[in-house]
A and B are shown apart, each in its own frame.
Chain A
Amino acid sequence: MARRYEKPVIHRLHMGHTNKFGFASPYGAKVRKSIDGVPIEELVSRFGSPLFVFSERRLRQKFREVKNAFTLRYPHVEFSWSYKTNYLDAIVAILHSEGATAEVVSEFEYEKARRMGIPGPKIIYNGPYKPIDSLRVAVSEGARINIDTFEEIADLERVADEVGKRPKVAIRVNMDTGIYPRWSRFGFNYESGQAWDAVKRIALGGKLDLIGLHCHMGTFILKPEAYEIETRKLVELAYRIEDEFGFKIEYIDVGGGFPSRNRLKGIYLPPEVAVPPIEEYAERITTALLNNLRPGDYPLLILESGRAIVDEAGFLITTVHATKRLPDGRRGYVLDAGVNVLFTAFWYHFNVEVDREVSGAAEPCVLYGPLCMNIDVVEDRAHLPPLPRGTRLILSPVGAYNVTQWMQFIRYRPAVVLIGENGEVDLIREAEDISDIVSRERVPERLKPKS
C-alpha cells in the first residue's frame, strides 16, 4: 500500500469563502483517545454508546478553583449547589463532599437534596412556583426560602401559623444591572419600588423573619461589571431594610449565571477570549461588598454557581451511524445522540473531538441526531475530515443542564458514568429500558391486548 486511504472529496471554491482553514484546517479534527486516561473505546465497549462521562477530578478541581476565587477575597462565603444544573446523586455527592449546600427550585429537588442527607437549614428553596405543601415541609425543616411573589408571602404566613414556626426568608429581587435580557419576571423589581413594597408587606405581617436578599440576574453573563452593580444595590437595600424595619440581613445571595467555557451561539470570539476568568467575577462581587458594607459587618455571601462548575466536567461520546450527501453539497452524519439528550445544543457550539486520527481535509458538515425530526441538529457548522462509520465523536462541555433537561422521546436515555479520581469507572446512572417508561402506565381492562 503506497498511500494512506482517505475518502475522495472535491470542493468548489467560492470567492469570498476561500479561507484555507475554513475547509482544510490541519487542526480541523481534534483527536481525543481517552478521558482522564480511560480509552474511549473501553468506555463504549463497557457501557455502550451514546454515553455521558463525568470526570470527578475536573469537577473537584473546578469547584475548588471557583471557591478559592471567592474565599480568598471575602471571609464568609457559602456555595449552594444549583441542583437543576445537574442533580445526579453521584455528582451532587461530590459537590456536597466539597462543602456545597443545596439550592433547589422544586419539591422534587428539595426531596432529592434531603435524600442526599442535606438538612433543611442547608437548603435554599427558590423558584416562582412553590406548592404550599412543599412550603410546609421546608418551613418545618428550617430551610431558607427566597420569596418570588406576594402570594408566596401570604402562603408562608399561613404555614407559619399552621406549623408554629417563624419561616426564615429572603426576597428575590430583579433589577437593572446593564445586562440583557432582563429577568424581570422573577422576584420583585428593585427600581419600581416593588421590592420595597414586599419588605413592607413582610414587616406588616410580622410572621416571617426576613434574613436575606437574593438576586439571580440571568444566565451565561459575560459582563462581570453587572455583578458589581447587583451586589452594591443589594447591600444598599439590605441597610435600608435594617435601618427602617430592624430585620438583620444575614445573607446576600447573588445567584449564579457565571459562564463556562462553552461556545455560545452568536458570540463570535472563542470562549478562551470571550469568557472572563472567574477571578474577575469574584473581584467585582467582593469589592462591591467590601466598599459598601459597614465596618465590622460581613454578611454571608451565597453563590448558586452551577454551570461554571460542572459543565466542563461532562463529555458525551456518540457514534457515527451513517453518512448523507446533502443537496447543497455538504456532508451530513447521523449520530446515535441528538437534541433528545443534548438540550444545550440549541445554544452552544460544542467542542467536537474524534476518537482516532482520520486523514483527509476537514470539510463543512452537519451532525444530525437519531430523531425523526428536522430540528434534531447537534451541530450545523462542524468542520471534520470525512469520517468512517463507527467513528466516535466526543462532545464537550456537556456537564450542565443536559442530564437534567434530556427528554425521553422515542429513545431510552443512555448510561452515565463517572471516572473517579482513582481512575476507576463507575456507572452512576444505568441506561434506561422499557420498564422505566411503562412502569407507571395503566391499561384499562377492556383495552388490554388479548393473548
Chain B
Amino acid sequence: MIRVAVSGINAVDNPGPGVGIAKGIRESGLEVEIYGLAYDSMDPGIYMKWLFSRSFIMPYPSEGEEVFLQRLLYIKHNYGLDVLVSALDAELPLLIKAADRLQTYGIRTFLPTYEQFKLRAKDRLPEVAERIGVKVPETRVVSSYEELVKATNDLGFPVMVKGIFYKAKKAYNVGEATAHFNEIVSEWGYPVIVQKVVQGEEMNVVGLGDGEGGHYGLVAIKKLWITSLGKIWTGVTVHNENLLKATERFVGEFKWRGGFEFECIVSGEDIYLIEINPRFPAWVYFSAGVGVNLPARLLKAALGLDVERDWDYEAGKLYVRYTDDLVADMAMFQSIVLKGEV
C-alpha cells in the first residue's frame, strides 16, 4: 500500500489540480491510499471520500517551514505517508527547499529544482524563449506611470498588463492600462509586465519532465471555452508539431523535473510563450483520460519505479468540465473544523 498526499483539493470555480491528480492516481493500477491536504474546511475534496480516504488541514506555507513540515510528519507518524504530490504555487518554494529533508524522513516528492521554479517569473520568459527558439510577445517591464505610458506608446493597444507571477488583464487605452497597473501593483507589487497582444490559437501543453532532459509524456490542448475567471472549461487535444517540439526543447534545455504547464499562443508557424507553470494545471486529468496518465507517472517517478514514456494520444478528444453536487454530514465538517482532519 502506497500512501500519497495530494494538495490543491479546492475544486471550486478557480480550481486547484488536486482532484484531477487524485483521479489520475486512482487509475494508476497501483495499490494506493490518497490523502487530501486542504487549506480550508470547505475545500470540496475533503468531502469526496471516494477519492480521498482522509483529509488534513494544513498550516499556510506562510506560517513557516518548520510548522508545515511538522504537520506532514504528524500525518506520516499517525497514518503513514510515502509520497507528497504538491500542486500549488504557494507551497512549491517551501517544498523544493525542504525536498531533501522530506526524503530523509521517507516522504518522496518529484519537484522541479529552485532554479527551474524561478523560470516562472514573467520577466524570465524572454530568456527562456530565446534558449528554446520560440517567441514572446513584445514585452516591457515597467515600474512607474511614465514607463507604463512609454510602453503602451511603443507597443500600441491593446496590451496585456501582467503581474510578475499572477494576474493578467487586457487594456484598450491608457486609462484602462493605468487602472490595471494600479490594481496589479497593489496586489503583487513591482515590476509590472506590459505585453503586446498576439493574435492566434491559445494552446497549452501539460507535461512531466524526467529531470535529465527527457520526459514521461506531453499532451497538448486547445482552449475552446474559458470561464469568466479565465479557467479552461472545454478544450480539445491537438497535435501541433511546432508546439510539441518547442515543449520538448524546453524540457531538454532546462532538464525540467516534475509536472508543468507550458502556455502558448500559436500563430501559424510562430509559437509565442505566455507562461510557464511549475506544476500540473487543474485540467491534468485530461492526460489520464486520453491514455497518458501523467499524475500516475509522477507518482511512479517519485517512487523510483519504471515509468512509461509513450504519449501517442489521439487528437480530437474533448475535455468537458462540469459541475456536480454532493451531500455531506455536519459531522464531517465538525471534525475537520475541530480536529483539523477527517
Contacts and interface: CB of A to CB of B under 8 A. Distances in A.
Interface in A1-32: 13, 15-22, 24-25, 27
Interface string A173-208: 000001011100000000000000000000000000
Interface string B284-322: 000000000000000000000000000000000000000
A19 B40 contact: yes
A443 interface: no
Given A21-B58, A180-B190, A15 B42 contact: yes
B62 interface: yes
B42 A16 contact: yes
B42 A21 contact: no
Interface string B178-203: 00000000000111000000000000
A272 B57 contact: no
A268 interface: yes
A25 B67 CA distance: 10
B98 to A, nearest CB: 9
Contacts of B97: 273
B65 A21 contact: no
A96 B66 CA distance: 35
A444 interface: no
Contact of A270 (B41, B63, B337): B63
Contact of A27 (B65, B70, B191, B338): B70
A266 interface: yes
B149 interface: no
B94 A21 contact: no
B64 A270 contact: yes
A20 B71 CA distance: 12
B157 interface: no
A22 B65 CA distance: 16
A340 B54 CA distance: 49
User: Which of B63, B65, B189, B191 has the most chain A CB atoms inside 10 A of its CB?
Assistant: B63
Interface size class of B (residues with CB under 8 A): 20 to 34
Contact of B189 (A15, A27, A266, A272): A266
A21 B336 contact: no
A268 B143 contact: no
A269 B61 contact: yes
Given A21-B63, A21-B340, A181-B143, A269 B93 contact: yes
B64 A272 contact: yes
A18 B65 contact: no
B59 A21 contact: yes
A272 B93 CA distance: 10
B62 A268 contact: yes
Contact of B90 (A18, A268, A272): A268
16 contacts: A16-B40, A16-B42, A17-B40, A19-B60, A20-B41, A20-B338, A21-B60, A24-B340, A25-B67, A181-B143, A268-B90, A269-B61, A269-B93, A272-B66, A273-B65, A273-B97
Q: A-B pairs with the 10 shortest C-beta distances? A: A18-B41, A20-B340, A180-B190, A21-B59, A20-B57, A270-B64, A180-B143, A272-B65, A273-B94, A27-B67
